[in-house]
């Protein structure tokens, strides 16, 4: 995707996206923000899950979901959002950390 842009009276400038632009934009859209109604309690935890801890964390999430009759995500997924009783649990696994957010 290239675009020619006229800025003021200047010549046309060709804008060329960075090589990882599409992948980065896709990642942002794959993890939409969680809507929160006010007032609402929010619990936010981040854990170091680098290396082998990532697989342990993923297994623990699957066990938690299974224990409550919820469907866990496939092993390749990096985020999951599910109703959890009267709350919503959101899980995001990044390269070196995992975030758990509980809303409600």
Token representation of residue 60: 């623990």
pLDDT of residue 3: 60
Nearest residue to 87 via CA among 100, 75, 97: 100
Helices (H), the chain: 21-30, 53-67
Tell me: pLDDT of 1 over 60: no
Query: For residues 9 and 70, which has the higher predicted lDDT (pLDDT)?
Result: 70
Q: Over the stretch 2-48, which tens digit does the pLDDT of each residue have?
A: 566 666 666 666 667 778 877 777 766 666 677 777 788 889 899 99
| Strand 42-48 relative to strand 12-15, pairing | unpaired
Distance CA 12, CA 27 (A): 31
Nearest residue to 68 via CA among 41, 45, 40, 87: 87
Q: Over the stretch 47-65, which tens digit does the pLDDT of each residue have?
A: 998 888 998 998 888 898 8
In the chain, where are the structural domains located?
3-103
């Amino acid at each position: 995707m290239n675009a020619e842009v006229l800025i003021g009276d200047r010549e046309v400038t060709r804008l060329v996206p960075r090589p990882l632009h599409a992948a980065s934009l896709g990642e942002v859209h794959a993890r939409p923000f969680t809507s929160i109604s006010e007032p609402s309690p929010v619990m936010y935890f981040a854990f170091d899950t680098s290396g082998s801890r990532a697989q342990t964390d993923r297994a623990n999430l699957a066990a938690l979901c299974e224990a409550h009759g919820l469907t866990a995500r496939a092993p390749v997924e990096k985020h999951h959002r599910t109703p959890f009783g009267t709350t919503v649990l959101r899980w995001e696994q990044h390269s070196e950390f995992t975030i758990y957010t509980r809303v409600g």
